[in-house]
Structure formats: structure tokens, C-alpha cells
Amino acid sequence: MMMARRLPLLNFGFELQSRTPPTTGDPFSGSPGYDDENFVKRWYHYAPLGVVVLLILAPHPSLLYMLVDFHLMTMGQTYTFGIHLLITYTLTFLAISSLIVCIARDPGPVTMPKPIGSSDADDDLDITAALMPPEDYSHPSKWCRKCWAPKPERTHHCNICGRCVLKMDHHCPWLASKCVGHRTYPAFIHFLTCITLLALYISIISIPALLYAFNNPLSVNEITPVHELVLTFTGLVFTLVIGSFLFYHFYLISTNQTTLEHVTPFMLLRYLPPLPSGNHSLSDPPLEPELSYDQRRLTRSAHGYIRLYDLGWRKNWSQAFGWQRKHGWLFRLFCGGSSPGDGKSFPRNPKSDELLARLAKELVKSDQDS
């Protein structure tokens, strides 16, 4: 019996340049050709999502027990009981709403261009668009050799999902094995924020009740301190774990990076300008496997200060969470929504071209010296 090929749960892998085209897919069929045999999801892909939902709902029985026993029965604080109940269940509802958006919404489909000579290809073009030169898909970074389809800027191919995703951030097994991309990233941040605030709030309201139980052991039910202790401990643990992940993404938003762009320094190679002419053995653009140790160090060092899309933290946050409608902030508050724009083109940092040109010269110089 043949063993099924096992894939990693978290995928950051992508190819800078592939030599072998796929055997399936029509470049003008309207959908990419998927050659991944594991593209169809199985039941075990949804198991981590069940764990997430269980962890969200698990504290509520103990929380209700603590609120009723401490605030109603012991302290007689009906108003405080209502406030705690309203806040905790509002945060729970908001977390579940953004979780549903992350699962149900496509993270960022890459649509195919219409074939040349199509009867309706130029129907909706204005004069400016008609005079612009056609998009050049000959560059390795603009064409996916797995989907056999165009790959817009900041788009990456997910080996687990078997498809390209616009502004792909990462593949998340906890979200029913789906990618987080252009159309789901704000909802993902909304989900992390609500979970962090919920865990923090549960621990904050549990600590005073736990301290009261220690100071007045005869005034409370003997089982209540156990619930309070568990709620305090788990709330603080989830606040630290999920909160750290959340603040990491706050940093990424402030610098206009995705997780892939931040953890993969050699992605800079695909954005390099044409290499200076001379006696060197590098490809144009260079490929990661052909770099020497010194060249890899140069690339990693340059990755720390070359931020291709950093426009300042205000514009960066507006690019991720901006809205155009009058009351668009209400939708953001409700479930996060999706990022504005088409997810295919992004303004560049004006300083990045000069820094990339300098990196290209340093790589060629290092190759000539070796």
C-alpha cells in the first residue's frame, strides 16, 4: 500500500525561479492549473480549527460560575456582573465573526488576463490604459511556473493549498488550513486582537476574585477559587502567547511587510535591478543556491534595512486597514474585513531602488573577488 506524501503544517517555501513548467493548466482558462494532489482538503485539515473554537468556548462555563458565585451571590454586584458579561461575550462574538471571515473568504484569488484578440478585451479600457504597454510576464517574479499563471506583485504560491495568493502573509493550519492574504489579513489581525483582549480581560476580572477568596476563605464556595485560579493562569498564558504574535504583526504592519517578506531575506533577489556587466557567474536575477557565504551574508544584512514598501507607519496602516466608505470603520470593528485596493500593485519606498542597486553592485563585487 502506498504511503501518502506528508506536507508541513506551516509553509513559507516558494521558488525564486523554477525551470520545470507544470503539466496541467491553461494560461487563459480563467483558473490556474493545480498539480498538487493534496489540494482537496481532508477532515484532519479542519481538526486544528475545532481546537481553536474549543479553546475560545472552554473558559465560559468557569467564567459564568465565577461571575455568578462571586459578583452575584457573594458581593451582590448586579451592575458589575452585567458589565463583565457584556464585555466578555462581545469580545467572543467579535472573535468568532472575524474567524468566520478568515475561513469563508478567499484570501486573494489571482485572476487570469484575457487572451489577446478577445472580443471584449478592450471594451472597458480608457485612453490611458490603452496606451500603456502590456504587462511583461517574462520575469521570473511575475509568472508562477506551478500555476502557469501571472503572479502579481507580492503574490506567492502556497505549496499546501496548491495556488497563488495575493499578498500572501502565511499559511495557517489553525484556520482550516487556509492562507492569510490580501482579503483576509485585517480579519486575521482582528481575530488575534479580540482573542488577546478576551484572555487579558478574563485574567483581570479573575485576579480580584481570587485574592478575595484567599483573604476570606470562609465567605466563598470552596470550588470557586479553583475556577478563578484556572481562569487567571490560562488567561495570562494566552495573553502572552497570542499577544506576542499580535504585536509581531503590529510591527509588520508598521513597516509594511508580510511574514514571508520578513522571514525570507533572499526574496530581495527577485527585485534587484539588472546586474552590472562584468566578469561574474551570477544569474540575472541571482538565485539563492548559487550565492556564496559572503553573498548570503550581504543579502541578509541588506534585508534588515531595505524595506521595499515602507511608506511611513501612517500610510502603512492605512494600506492595510483603510476604508473608503463613510462608515467603513464600523465594518473594520465588527470583523476586520479585507485590505483596500486590488492586492496586485503597491507603491514602493522611493529609497528602495537606490539600496537595491547598491546590493546588486556588492553581490557582483563579492563574486569577482572570490
The tens digit of pLDDT for each residue in 124-153 reads: 444 444 444 445 555 556 788 888 888 899
pLDDT of residue 6: 45
Q: Residue 109: name the closest of 60, 165, 150, 186 by CA.
A: 165
Report the alpha-carbon distance of residue 338 to residue 144 in Å, rounded: 24
pLDDT of residue 132: 43
Asked if residue 121 has pLDDT above 60, the reply is no
Strand, coil or helix: 135: coil
> Looking at residues 78-91, what average pLDDT do you find?
95
Q: Residue 252: name the closest of 323, 154, 173, 163 by CA.
A: 154
> Looking at residues 193-205, what average pLDDT do you find?
97
Exposed, middle or buried, 305 (CB in 10 Å: 0-12/13-18/19+)?
Answer: exposed
pLDDT of residue 127: 47
Q: Which residues contact 353 (CB under 8 A, 6 or more apart)?
A: 273
Average model confidence (pLDDT) across the chain: 83
pLDDT of residue 123: 43
φ, ψ of residue 255 in degrees (nearest 5): -105, 5
Q: Which of 151-155, 198-202, 350-354 has the highest mean pLDDT?
A: 198-202
